[in-house]
Amino acid sequence: MSRLESIPAAAPHIAHRTGAPLVLPVESGDAALLRTLRTTVGEGRVHSVFTRVVNVLTPDGLLIALAAWDAGHAPRTLTTDVTDWTGCGLAAGQRVTFDRGVLTLDVPGRPLRLALDGAQAWNPDTPSLAHLGLGRFAECAAYLDCLNRLHGPYGGMLGAARDAGPMERAVAAALADGRTRFIAAVRTGEPAALRTAVLALLGLGPGLTPAGDDFLTGAALIAALPGSALGALIPVLQDVLDTHPERTTDLSLATLREATDGRARAEVLDVLRLLADEADPQQLDVPVRKVLAVGHTSGSDTLSGLIAGLHLEEELRGSL
């Protein structure tokens, strides 16, 4: 069966006459999300539509993603037999009906029905790094930092591009200052200082997931690991997200909340699993390049957060 690239122009007329929905198979999805949706009943709505992803709010307000077949695995995400969502007649605010494993997107004249039967479950959980000895965290961080600086794009945590204007340079300076304050606050573990540092980064930068948020996501993934020396960050970050959701985007909030539970995109998890397996540094090259390909600077900014977290893990464990 060929993948759905768009809805033919005649489809609205035919679907309206026949009343038959277009059924799209869900190929895979976040295992926890699949379990939840198989018991979910009620009405949600389309949150936003992009070429490769449609974001949807469930009846209880959970933001989930319907991704194109090759978009990659991520928390709160289902992958579908679609290559381009923009040709499907979807728009923000349209109704989505949830009925125990079936999602019906109420496109005028041609509803789209997604069935979870047969969807493969994917678990977006971080591996443990607890077995790594002192010295290994710093070694991993140094190699990741080298790859990030060599291949990562400017415009986020790596700094402003050479031809950047005054606004981008100002944001880059604020990000650098925010990182310095964040690292200092994590070293102390003092909740008030951590809160101030998180707020300085939250929502900082342009895009659907601002650079400051992506950096916090990477650091939170390290802090969420079992036995992490950065554990004090998690409750503070969760509280800030709960009390200041207006500081950033809905998508970024969802990503950060998942990170505080140790859940992340497949590309990031592949890097962490190689670190957990104590793989040769050269084996990190391809997985890191895949992380760097996420978004404009999102992959690089998340990697910057991982690097900071690994350095802090080495430092704080060594002081125990």
Specify whether 276 is located in the same domain as 198. Answer: yes
For residue 113, give both structure tokens.
């029905």
Specify whether 107 is located in the same domain as 178. Answer: no
Examine residue 42 and state whether it is found in any structural domain, yes or no: yes
Examine residue 169 and state whether it is found in any structural domain, yes or no: yes
Examine residue 70 and state whether it is found in any structural domain, yes or no: yes
Specify whether 275 is located in the same domain as 222. Answer: yes
Examine residue 4 and state whether it is found in any structural domain, yes or no: no
Specify whether 303 is located in the same domain as 230. Answer: yes
Residue 99: pLDDT above 60?
yes
- 28 in helix, strand or coil? strand
Specify whether 253 is located in the same domain as 195. Answer: yes
- 32 in helix, strand or coil? helix
Mean of all residue pLDDT scores within the chain:
92
Q: Tell me which of 87, 122, 157 is where a domain ends.
A: 122
Specify whether 251 is located in the same domain as 217. Answer: yes
Specify whether 206 is located in the same domain as 245. Answer: yes
- In whole angstroms, what is the distance from residue 212 CA to residue 229 CA? 22
Q: Tell me which of 122, 145, 177 is where a domain ends.
A: 122
pTM of the model: 0.92
Examine residue 3 and state whether it is found in any structural domain, yes or no: no
User: With contact defined as beta carbons under 8 Å apart, do 76 and 65 qualify?
Assistant: yes
Specify whether 103 is located in the same domain as 211. Answer: no
Q: What is the pLDDT of residue 21?
A: 87
Specify whether 104 is located in the same domain as 171. Answer: no
Amino acid 93 reads G
- In whole angstroms, what is the distance from residue 84 CA to residue 5 CA? 5
For residue 226, give both structure tokens.
């079992």
Residue 1: pLDDT above 50?
no
Specify whether 142 is located in the same domain as 59. Answer: no
Structural domains counted in the chain: 2
Structural domain including 209 reads: 136-318
Q: What is the pLDDT of residues 117-128, one digit of tens each?
A: 999 999 998 899
Burial class (CB in 10 A: 0-12, 13-18, 19+), 100: exposed
Specify whether 98 is located in the same domain as 67. Answer: yes
Residue 296: pLDDT above 60?
yes
User: With contact defined as beta carbons under 8 Å apart, do 192 and 276 qualify?
Assistant: no
User: With contact defined as beta carbons under 8 Å apart, do 75 and 29 qualify?
Assistant: no
Cβ neighbours of 320 (radius 10 Å): 6
Query: Can you tell me which residue has the tokens 């925010």?
Result: 178
Identify the H or E element spanning 112.
Answer: strand 112-115
Specify whether 68 is located in the same domain as 192. Answer: no
Examine residue 127 and state whether it is found in any structural domain, yes or no: no
Residue 183: pLDDT above 60?
yes
Examine residue 257 and state whether it is found in any structural domain, yes or no: yes
Q: What is the pLDDT of residues 209-264, one digit of tens each?
A: 999 999 999 999 999 998 899 999 999 999 999 999 999 999 999 999 999 999 99
Within the chain, residue ranges assigned H as helices are: 11-18, 31-37, 136-151, 166-188, 191-201, 211-223, 233-243, 250-260, 266-276, 285-292, 298-318
Identify the H or E element spanning 287.
Answer: helix 285-292
Q: How confident is the model at residue 110 (pLDDT cuts 50, 70, 90)?
A: confident
Examine residue 210 and state whether it is found in any structural domain, yes or no: yes
